[in-house]
Structure 1
Amino acid sequence: MIGFDLNLLLLYIVTVTVMIALPGPVMILVVSAGLSGGPRRALSTIAGTNAASLLLIALSALMVQGLLAIDEAYFNGIKLLGALYIGYVGWGLLRAVPFEGRPQSGGGVGGFGKGFMVAIANPKDIIFFASFFPQFIGIMPQPALSLVVLTLLWVALDFATLMVMFQLVRRLLRPVLQRALLRCSGVLLIVVALVGVAFAGRALWTTSG
């Protein structure tokens, strides 16, 4: 029987669930997509965020094995572009939400592509997979098997947590409050983008100097 560290496994599950449930660009986008386009739109957006997560996990595994090293200036440049894209998504969300009636459905909010781009540019995910994720590689004696288990758990927890949060918001909030939440979400994404641009820009200025 293959042994595993149960305490480390439970810590990973709790940590990932809390991290996903905390408000951030990905959570905001998924809930907004679901409110404007329904559960199918939310699932499509989550699929995009999961695809980005799998790419970040692969990069993290290469970094742990010493097969990949990312230049700090290049990394900060990626974060800057990501912050700008998050701001673009926030602005698009504000434009898609009317002050009366239902939000516009369709391609304006969420979807696989937007989910992927927001997740790949999300500083929270980048930091987690680059630094915190490798701490759980010892969950099993074989690192490769640990990586498979951690990845499958991430996908399952990501889909489950994001869908639960969307369903809670949809069932607990009346339409008028849903519109208000969508507008607030757009503003919050823009604020997150501005903060991200400021930090990434300062980091780029420091490294270039």
Structure 2
Amino acid sequence: MHETTLAVFAAVAFVGIATPGPTVLLALTNGSRYGLRRAAYGFAGAVASDFVLISAVAIGLGALLAASTFWFSVVKWVGAAYLAYVGARLLMSRGAFELDDEQASGGRQRNRAIFLKSFLTAVTNPKGYLFFSAFLPQFITPSAPLAPQYVALAITFAALDLAIMFGYALLGARAIRLLKRSGARW
């Protein structure tokens, strides 16, 4: 893969990742509710989903979803139901914030839950499959071996996703500290 192609891919991917969506909002929420250390489990879940999505596109699932209205609708409604569930749980959380590890009970279980919530939010978003199935082929050279190209694109995308989710979680963590200090938490 040519370096210029990878640089263009990284630039376009950066814009796509940084654009607010469910995963970005979850990174902000995790940063504000749990602090940066715990939010890291969330962006690890988002990055893991990147590899699942890119692998699915590489084996043709993205093309199937793009071609089949039925299967696209199934994935879309499963994703919508999951996001509704996450939203309802967040609304019923009574606004509790956990900024210290001492305040959190069941640390490992909580970390696993944060990871899974982010992973499932990203992997059930049908836009991801369609985005990758339309986006990745533009940067693939069909005459060259495909696996190394997909690996390079996946690693680049995952690294960018990790950095951007870190930034959003940091923004959430800083914002909540500022709001707590000023008494405007409500």
- Bin for the TM-score computed over the shorter chain: 0.7 to 0.9
Specify the SS of the correspondent of 2:92.
Answer: helix
Matched, 1:159 2:162: yes
Question: Of 149, 166, 171, which residue of structure 2 is paired with 1:168?
Answer: 171
Contact 1:56/1:126, CA 8 A, preserved across alignment: yes
Relative to structure 1, is the Cα distance of residues 15 and 85 closer, same or farther in structure 2, using a 3 angstrom cutoff? Answer: same
Matched, 1:39 2:43: no
RMSD: 3.0
Q: Distance in 1 between matches of 2:175 and 2:82?
A: 30
Relative to structure 1, is the Cα distance of residues 19 and 143 closer, same or farther in structure 2, using a 3 angstrom cutoff? Answer: same
CA deviations 1:22-53 (Å, max 9, x no partner) are 11100011111121111222111111122222
Structure 1 residue ranges, 4+ long, deviating more than 6 angstroms after superposition: none
Greater shift, 168-177 or 6-15, is seen at 168-177
Structure 1 stretches of 5 or more lacking a match? 181-209
Residue in 2 that maps onto 1:201: none
Amino acid in structure 1 at the alignment position of 2:124: A
Q: Distance in 1 between matches of 2:127 and 2:115?
A: 19
Matched, 1:82 2:79: yes
Residue in 1 that maps onto 2:88: 91
Relative to structure 1, is the Cα distance of residues 179 and 79 closer, same or farther in structure 2, using a 3 angstrom cutoff? Answer: farther
Q: TM-score, normalised by structure 1?
A: 0.71
User: What percentage of aligned pairs have identical amino acids?
Assistant: 32
Contact 2:27/2:42, CA 8 A, preserved across alignment: yes
Q: Distance in 2 between matches of 1:91 and 1:139?
A: 45
Contact 2:75/2:125, CA 8 A, preserved across alignment: no
Question: Of 145, 150, 154, which residue of structure 1 is paired with 2:153?
Answer: 150
Question: Of 54, 69, 72, which residue of structure 2 is paired with 1:72?
Answer: 69
Residue 169 (structure 1) shift:
3.6
Q: TM-score, normalised by structure 2?
A: 0.78
Amino acid in structure 2 at the alignment position of 1:134: P
Residue 139 (structure 1) shift:
9.8
Specify the SS of the correspondent of 2:60.
Answer: helix
